[in-house]
A and B are shown apart, each in its own frame.
Chain A
Amino acid sequence: MKNMKKTKLKIIPFSTALFFACTTQAYSQIGNTKAPPDSNYFGHSENKAYRSLPDEYKTPEYTASFLQELEHHLSADDCKTELMHHLTAQVDENILPGLIVSLRREQKIDDVLFLSLFKEVNEGPLTTSPDTSEEPQRKKTKEPTKDSCDRYSAIKFARNTYLVSKETPIPSEFASKTIKKSHGLTQQVKLYQDFDGFQILTLAKLYQNFSKRISATSAEVIIHYGTKDSEIYALSMMEQYRMAEKMFHKEIEEMKLKPIFSGKMVTFEDVIMAALETGAVNGDQINTILNVKELWDPKVTFNQKMQSFMLKIGGPAMILVPPPFNQLVALGVIFLQSVAGKQKIKSAEERGISIF
């Protein structure tokens, strides 16, 4: 029974994200305060977000192709199909209203979103048509409005057109995991809440750049001396990898200063989620990619914290504890220092055997 509950709860966030993306009221209340004013969000020349677009996206050819693609995805039928597909595939029709109520009771969603979701489910309950096929269908489905699909469609467009992977992204637990200090939002919902389509594409591009850099066949550092002389240092594979990691970290930090993000906090997890959503990375790679952060933000285990604490109090204790017991403290400190020294992995750069 416990397992059942867990499984259901894992499914909820993804469905919630879809509802969230396809519900007008919820979007304007819970989502980004910068809700798109109309469906022509990306093509409007006066729009603030559009003004911050790099020039390469402002060419007439690009705008025309984008609009054409967007119109296709913004059609009500397409959005409805997407919604129906995910709901029928992942959530039982009979438990769906209950799940939404439980979400509200657990304060995972606020009242506005709850009402809109509940209304959506109750107006179009899922049923199996006895005479035509066994495919579950809605008796009466509320048509999602055009602008409610805008954001989700923009992401879908990005996934389908100009990012690397044409394969269907594999779902990941990372996307549906609830984030701490985020009012119970999942990583996926938080991404849609915090960033618009273009921003998500920009974040995904960061990961793509990192991926390309670590796949490069070689990398060199060229030092120009101002004369005709120059020095070329060929990086080893590990130096190349660490350089790519550091560049990735730097670019994430710098992203906060970019006008298109206007001071928004961009985290490593946001970038990875954007890469996952846009198909730049698949779900089965997520666990590996999340370890990339270890270089600049290493995990500290409980044991390491305890060792650090004991070492800090060990010095004063050696003086304060009367002899001969202070010898025991000294031995304990020596032991901890040797253990901590072994556990702390100094990077190749720190040990002088690598330049990155």
Chain B
Amino acid sequence: MKHYITLVVLCLFLSKPSFAQKEWNVVTRDSRGAAQITTEEIQMNEDRFENSDFKIVVGKSNEAISVNDPRISDETKLKAANTLFHLEHAKKYFTHTVKSLEVAKLEPITIRLEHINQFSDLGHFMNDAKEPQFNNALSIPAGVGMSGANIAPWKREIWFRPEKHIPVAEIMAMQGGNPLNPVIKKVRSAIYPMEMGTGLSNVVYALVNPQGSWSNTLLSSETLQAGTLLLFEAGFQIMRFLNKVLTPSHYFLDTAMIPEIITHEFSHIALSDYLELSHSTPVIEGLADYFSASLNETPKLALKIKQYSTAQGKNGKNKKLFAIEYENNRMANSDFVLSLLWGMREVLGKENADQVIFESRKYLKTNSSDIRTGLINALVIACNTTCKQPANDRLKLFIYFEKRGL
């Protein structure tokens, strides 16, 4: 009997995949928040980018990337190591700090790199002929597949698209021109009428007071006005030129190389027990941004990483006022919700804020919760059950939300 038990235990031990600590280069942040490449230990299979929590694959493949595969470029291997490292970090945060039982029980998640196919909730991947996708990342919900069409069921996954350099001029043309133009227009509308008015009043004054050498006085004052106008105009043109020189010529975003984007996507998975992965709303994106910021200990997301991105990034310290436009799904990637939630740390304390914000997902609806009612209601209700001093903390939250224009 004893030998039988030993044999069973031995079989179980041998059947379990063995993972080891491997050292790989990954992208991390230095003390000033700038991106750097450092060597870190990653828990992974002997020769594959895979462990008990994640499996990193390329494109539509279902096989984990092999360390020794000559067909896989070094850059892709770096991306695989980078995503695996940051995803492990994110999972630890949700299981240890936020204490999410759901995340602790998560099935192994498949991570697809360099994947350009669009998502189909029926067929998993859209047809290759459909427009390929670049410069973004997304988390997809599980699907049942279609046995008749030879499409196997799939579980939750995270997809990272490859980067693609797009000329900024093209993007600006699509968005209606240089963003500096409205600013210049505003200053012109304030200065020019005043200058014109002064010039005109000088002429009228000279005409009704014809004594003395009025023509000389008028000439000099009008020259002064014209000179001032020219100076302003020259200033505007210099600003335009500088803006053109300082703005990057191309837009690109290598999502698999940016730590905050990787953790943002995992946050979607962690929140998906209540917030489905089917929608991208300002509330859902903002919550994922907050947890990405919290676990990376910085409110600045995807900033100071010019080698992998020329995108604008997000700043949770930007205490902008609420505007109704932020409710629009087209503004889902603005940093208002991130900054609103990040500011709650000053009100409730870091740990308490983490708990309240995580708890709030239970009172949100995936597709209909907006910021001013849905999110605020959810946070206040979550505070009732999670805050240390609910009455006082709730009042603090009301005062804080009021200050943020909500």
Contact = CB atoms under 8 A, between A and B. Distances in A.
Contact of B187 (A211, A236, A334): A334
A334 B194 CA distance: 13
The interface residues of chain A, by DSSP majority, are classed as helix
Contacts of A345: 321, 403, 405
Contact of A242 (B194, B373, B395, B402): B402
Given A237-B373, A292-B399, A334-B187, A348 B406 contact: yes
Given A292-B395, A294-B402, 15 more contacts: A214-B394, A236-B376, A237-B373, A238-B372, A238-B406, A285-B391, A288-B395, A292-B399, A323-B224, A323-B225, A330-B194, A334-B187, A345-B405, A346-B405, A354-B372
A237 B370 CA distance: 13
Contacts of A289: 395
B377 A236 contact: yes
A251 interface: no
Contacts of A214: 394-395, 398
B246 interface: no
A291 B395 CA distance: 9
Interface of B: 187, 190-191, 194, 198, 221, 224-225, 227-228, 321-322, 324, 372-373, 376-377, 380, 389, 391-392, 394-396, 398-399, 401-403, 405-406
Q: Which of B324, B389, B391 has the most chain A CB atoms inside 10 A of its CB?
A: B391
A318 interface: yes
A6 B335 CA distance: 45
B380 A291 contact: no
Interface in A269-296: 284-285, 288-289, 291-292, 294-295
B224 A237 contact: no
Q: Which of B187, B221, B324, B399 has the most chain A CB atoms inside 10 A of its CB?
A: B399
A324 B224 CA distance: 7
A238 B405 CA distance: 10
Interface in A304-356: 318, 323-324, 326-327, 330, 334, 345-348, 351, 353-354
B365 to A, nearest CB: 15
Contacts of B194: 318, 330
B306 to A, nearest CB: 29
A334 B191 CA distance: 9
A268 to B, nearest CB: 15
A241 B391 contact: no
Interface of A: 211, 214-215, 236-238, 241-242, 284-285, 288-289, 291-292, 294-295, 318, 323-324, 326-327, 330, 334, 345-348, 351, 353-354
13 contacts: A236-B373, A236-B377, A237-B376, A238-B398, A238-B406, A284-B392, A288-B395, A288-B396, A291-B399, A294-B399, A295-B402, A324-B228, A348-B372
Contacts of A242: 402
A241 B372 contact: no
A324 B199 CA distance: 12
A133 B373 CA distance: 62
Nearest to B347: A288
A238 B377 CA distance: 8
Contact of A351 (B187, B399, B405): B405
Contacts of B406: 238, 348
A354 B324 CA distance: 11
Contacts of A334: 187, 190
A293 B315 CA distance: 31
B399 A348 contact: no
B328 to A, nearest CB: 13
